[in-house]
Amino acid sequence: MRPFIFIFMSYKVFKFGGSSIKDISRIKNLCAILKNCKGEKIVVVISAMGKMTNALEAVFSHYVKDREGGLDALDKVVDEHMEIVKALELEEAVIERKLQSFIFDNLSMLETEKNKELIYDQIISLGELFSTTIIKAYLEKMELSASWMDVRNVILTDDTFRDGKVEMSITKNKISKKVNSYFKKSDFIITQGFIGKTDKGFTTTLGREGSDYTAAIFAYALDIEELTIWKDVPGILTADPRRFDNPILLDKISYREAIEMTYYGAKVIHPKTIQPIQNKNIRLQVRSFLDTEKTGTLIADPGGLTYPPIVVIQEGVILLQITSNDFSFVTTEHLSVIFSKMNQFRTKLCLMRNSAISFTLCINEVEDKQLDAFMKALGQGFSIEVHKELELITIRHYQQSLVDKLTTDKLVMFEETLKDTIQMAVKSIETLKEKKEI
């Protein structure tokens, strides 16, 4: 009897962000990368093109003040996409009809809608729907076997618009069912990062830059061994190359290192990406779509790693110093008011320290009216000092010489050290624009 041969093909998940599809040469490059993977089954999670999400945020701001003006601004965004469609020599009428149908589906019921956060998500999500439609059409033209999948049919979220919380177990089941059925008819599944859907059928977004997180959700749901995120940098570096001249490429880093770096503002991957992959020990490879020979950075749990100093800088941080006027203590009751307000305003707490009569904290930017609400909620008897537009410098595995170098022309307003990590909220004496060596 002939032996029964069971061929198991494991799936892969790739993620391409805005910079990897910002123009036609980059789209062609993406296609070349996929061509090299012919015969494999890959879910390809894609963001909006270039800076289209920012353009859609501008459309939203316009729309909520003046609906017609907003729709005109949206037409311009469609035109920009159609220029790319034309340059790629795709079927313009067919694609334009599809883009318009996304607009109709998302916006037609908004005329009387009052919830601005809901409106935001219906507009902002269009970027990913547009980009994936164009890329799928291009891959097809290049004779790659690709299906387009509406990610909203598999990623279920709650109704926290702008920051949808994913219902993981339902999402996991939906993903494995749908993906298996799509892979029966094609090698590549092209789908959207960053967006999901509520059980009432409204589109949600998962937080700016959230496409990396979507890719991690797919990797988790499909139980794959490795996720690849393609970037315009060689991998994870010891600092942002846009700000520093000679950062070093980190070949391997642990999940812990990656989550700490990204939480404090290393914009290379979204901080939410790490948790789902860590839970299943899925390796994450961050590599360059511009130099495909190199493998980049592996994020896993290899153990025994040592690191050079890693610098992360987050801009637009606010320092609040809350002090009681009559020397009464700052109690846990006051702290709970502060934390619940922060939760309500969805602002992130970066650093904090309390003393008998004061509480100092660093948070991500909030509006002035929200600061006023903090004060009102605290009640009489407290004064608040606000320092805006600070930078939060985090140096992991720090050396004092580097701390001195990075703070020479800065005023350090607040400093915390924990083990080998130092964090400083600093104000530029003269805003540092030129690059420094690290």
CB of residue 219 vs Mg ion: minimum separation in angstroms?
Answer: 18
Cβ distance to ligand ADP smaller for residue 132 or 360: 132
Decide: 361 and 351 in contact? Cβ < 8 Å.
yes
Residue 267: contacted member of ligand ADP, ligand ASP, Mg ion, none (CB under 5 to 8 Å, by partner type): ligand ADP
Q: Which two tokens stand for residue 207?
A: 């937080």
Contacts with ligand ASP, residue ranges (CB under 6 A): 17-18, 47-48, 53, 127, 193-194, 208-211
Cβ distance to ligand ASP smaller for residue 211 or 288: 211
Cβ distance to ligand ASP smaller for residue 18 or 276: 18
Cβ distance to ligand ASP smaller for residue 213 or 264: 213
CB of residue 114 vs Mg ion: minimum separation in angstroms?
Answer: 30
Distance CA 72, CA 70 (A): 5
Binding segment (CB under 6 A) for ligand ADP, from list 15-23, 69-77, 344-352, 419-427? 15-23
Q: E strand or H helix at 154, and its extent?
A: none
Q: Does 438 bind ligand ADP (CB under 6 A)?
A: no
Among 11, 13, 15, 17, binds Mg ion (CB under 5 A): 17
- Residue of 31, 77, 23 whose CA lies nearest to 50: 23
Cβ distance to Mg ion smaller for residue 17 or 271: 17
Q: Helices then strands (H, E): number in the chain?
A: 13, 16
Q: Does 212 bind Mg ion (CB under 5 A)?
A: no
What Cα–Cα distance (Å) separates residue 254 from each residue in 12, 77, 121, 240, 294? 21, 40, 33, 19, 19
Q: Does 236 bind ligand ADP (CB under 6 A)?
A: yes
**Positions 195 through 224 that interact with ligand ADP (CB under 6 A):** 209
Query: Looking at this protein, which amino acid is placed at residue 268?
Result: V
Strands 252-254 and 297-300: parallel
Decide: 393 and 406 in contact? Cβ < 8 Å.
yes
Q: Does 17 bind ligand ADP (CB under 6 A)?
A: yes
CB of residue 437 vs ligand ADP: minimum separation in angstroms?
Answer: 16
- Residue of 96, 95, 102 whose CA lies nearest to 137: 95
What Cα–Cα distance (Å) separates residue 13 from each residue in 34, 193, 234, 266, 381? 12, 12, 19, 22, 55
Residue 208: contacted member of Mg ion, ligand ADP, ligand ASP, none (CB under 5 to 8 Å, by partner type): ligand ASP
Binding segment (CB under 6 A) for ligand ADP, from list 134-142, 237-245, 371-379, 418-426? 237-245
Binding segment (CB under 5 A) for Mg ion, from list 117-125, 155-163, 204-212, 286-294? 204-212
What Cα–Cα distance (Å) separates residue 119 from each residue in 48, 168, 396? 18, 24, 40
Contacts with ligand ADP by CB under 6 A lie at 17-20, 47, 209, 231-233, 236-237, 239-242, 266-268
